Amino acid sequence: MRLLIVEDDRQLRQSIARGLREDSYAVDQTGDGAQALELAASHEYDGIILDILLPGIDGISVCRRLRAEGVTTPILMLTALDAVEQRIAGLDAGADDYLTKPFDFGELQARLRALTRRRGEIVAANLVVGDLVVDTLRHAARRGEREIQFTAKEFAFLLHLARNAGRVVSKSELMAHVWNDSREPYSNIIDVYASRVRRKIDDDEPVALLTTHRGSGFMLDVPRPAAPTRRRS
């Protein structure tokens, strides 16, 4: 999943981004409200973490303008501990939830998961594709009796395919939601990770779940049995 962090405190912003990347998110970040509007208009995000006190265009104005432009991405606002009126204003502007500073990073993670579930993008802790069970909380998977471990980026790759099981996911979509465009060159990196994940989930298995659709992308799904051929009389 791809998130946008809008926070003018550079140290806090980078700390949040680092933690979320370790949690398999792709992250864009800015400390400027105007740039936040530009990023939200040009990219499809799964969630936005938005501080209220920003230079130039404040967070409440950013939130109000995003909602007026039809952006429905879940927004988690960051507010000062005693700023009750700001929290009310943020929610009235269209924010989905708020978190007061200072906060525990674990609570930030939990609130992001709750916002995602509320949007209907993840409906359970486990995503099941055939005999593959993807554990979204432990960032691991199980196929039959076999436990499978992944690096953070491998799991992010698998998770996005599992969330879209049965649909061919293009390379451009994977780049947008699994990688940061500004950090990763669009080369053969997606093919490399597809190969790594395929080896982990499909090697030595009778049925391959991860398939490559040349020129289109990748799909995670249970293959359909071939239709029986008709005998000619």
Do 132 and 111 belong together in one domain?
no
Distance CA 62, CA 54 (A): 10
Supply the pLDDT for residue 124: 57
Give the per-residue pLDDT at 123. 45
Count, residues in the chain: 233
Question: 49 with 133, same domain?
Answer: no
pLDDT at residue 187, rounded to an integer = 58
Closest CA relative to residue 149, chosen from 139, 164, 136: 139
In a domain, 230, yes or no: no
Same domain, 97 and 147: no
Same domain, 46 and 88: yes
- How far is it, in rounded angstroms, from Cα 168 to Cα 181? 21
Range of the domain at 216: 126-220
Considering the domain boundaries, does residue 54 fall inside one? yes
Quote the pLDDT of residue 203. 93
Judge if 10 and 114 occupy the same domain.
Answer: yes
Same domain, residue pair 202 and 108: no
Contact 201, 158 (CB under 8 A): yes
Q: What is the pLDDT of residue 120?
A: 52
> What is the number of structural domains in the chain?
2
DSSP states of the chain: -EEEEE-S-HHHHHHHHHHHHHTT-EEEEES-HHHHHHHHHHS--SEEEEES--SSS-HHHHHHHHHHTT----EEEEEETT-HHHHHHHHHHT-SEEEEES--HHHHHHHHHHHHHHHTS--SSEEEETTEEEETTTTEEEETTEEEE--HHHHHHHHHHHHTTTSPBPHHHHHHHHS-TTTS-SSSHHHHHHHHHHHHHHTT-SS--EEEETTTEEEE-PPPPPPPPPPP-
| Residues 208, 46: Cα–Cα separation, whole Å | 29
Same domain, 159 and 190: yes
* pLDDT score at 185: 47
CATH classification at residue 174? 1.10.10.10
Q: What pLDDT is stored for residue 214 in this prediction?
A: 87
Specify the pLDDT at position 175.
Answer: 84
Would you state the pLDDT for residue 122? 43
Q: What is the dihedral of CA 33, 28, 39, 191, to 10 degrees?
A: 180
**Mean of the per-residue pLDDT values of the chain:** 86
Does 13 fall in a domain?
A: yes
Supply the pTM of this predicted model. 0.67
The predicted pLDDT at position 136 comes to 81
**pLDDT mean by block of 10 residues, the chain; 233 residues:** 92 93 87 94 90 92 92 89 78 89 90 73 71 88 92 89 91 80 60 93 93 91 68 56
Residues linked to residue 174 through DSSP beta bridges, in sequence order? none
Residues 99 and 169 in one domain: no
Last residue of a domain, one of 100, 119, 138: 119
